[in-house]
Structure 1
Amino acid sequence: MSQPKDMTAIDRHAAKLVKDARLAKGLSQKALALRLGVSFQQVQKYEKGTNRMSVGRFVQIADVLGLRLADLF
């Protein structure tokens, strides 16, 4: 089993951008989680930078938040 990679400054910055965008849209973590098909705890982990987000998840988040993918970087 492989060991998880450490979070980088870029990962933490992207996590903050996701949180800021969610708050700007007036969505709760639970509401975003429902639209993404994940638990709200997973959204918390994304936003804290505890769990890294895949490119596919970034695309999905941008779509739900009505943003361009580039807005999350």
Structure 2
Amino acid sequence: MTHPVDVHVGKRIRQRRWLAGMTQQQLAEQVGIKFQQIQKYETGANRVSASRLWDIADALQVPVSFFFEGLSAREEAEAEAERIAVPGNLLNDKEALDLVRSYYAIPENQRRRLFELARVLSDVA
């Protein structure tokens, strides 16, 4: 049986990899392992050792602590997501992560205007 912390860390690896626009193969090559191992880490099937997590953090350009963010407040975040009608698995959705990556590629002044438009449209719906 997988440990919840291993599953959480794996999800954070996947999220960051998607946001970075990196494939499992590319990440595996940078870390020096097979892409199948990345698959196992991302599902929580295999635990990530401290040294391997360090290498993954370096390849994804985040601090090691990134992979543990939100772990202690998970229940609170899930309750908040339900309150605002956002699916709890939103960050596990590749399409949603692609949308976020595209959003942050827009220049900041245009991004703010797009955000305001989305806010107005969501209020109307």
TM-score of the aligned structures, taking structure 2 as reference length: 0.53
Q: After TM superposition, where is structure 1 displaced by more than 4 Å over at least 4 residues in a row?
A: none
Structure 2 residue runs of 5 or longer lacking an equivalent are: 69-125
Cα distance in 1 for partners of 2:40, 2:13 equals 11
Structure 1 residue runs of 5 or longer lacking an equivalent are: 1-5
Give the aligned partner of residue 40 of structure 2: 45
Cα distance in 1 for partners of 2:64, 2:43 equals 19
Number of positions where the alignment pairs a residue of Structure 1 with one of Structure 2: 68
Instruction: Tell me by how many angstroms 1:31 deviates.
Output: 0.2
RMSD of the TM alignment (CA)?
Answer: 0.8
Instruction: Tell me by how many angstroms 1:72 deviates.
Output: 1.1
SS across alignment from 1:26: coil
Question: Larger relative contact order (C-alpha < 8 A, sep ≥ 6)?
Answer: 1
Give the aligned partner of residue 63 of structure 2: 68
Judging by fraction of residues, say which structure has more helix: 2
1:21-60: CA deviation from partner (whole Å, max 9, x where unpaired): 0000000000000001111111101111111100111111
Q: Percent identity?
A: 38
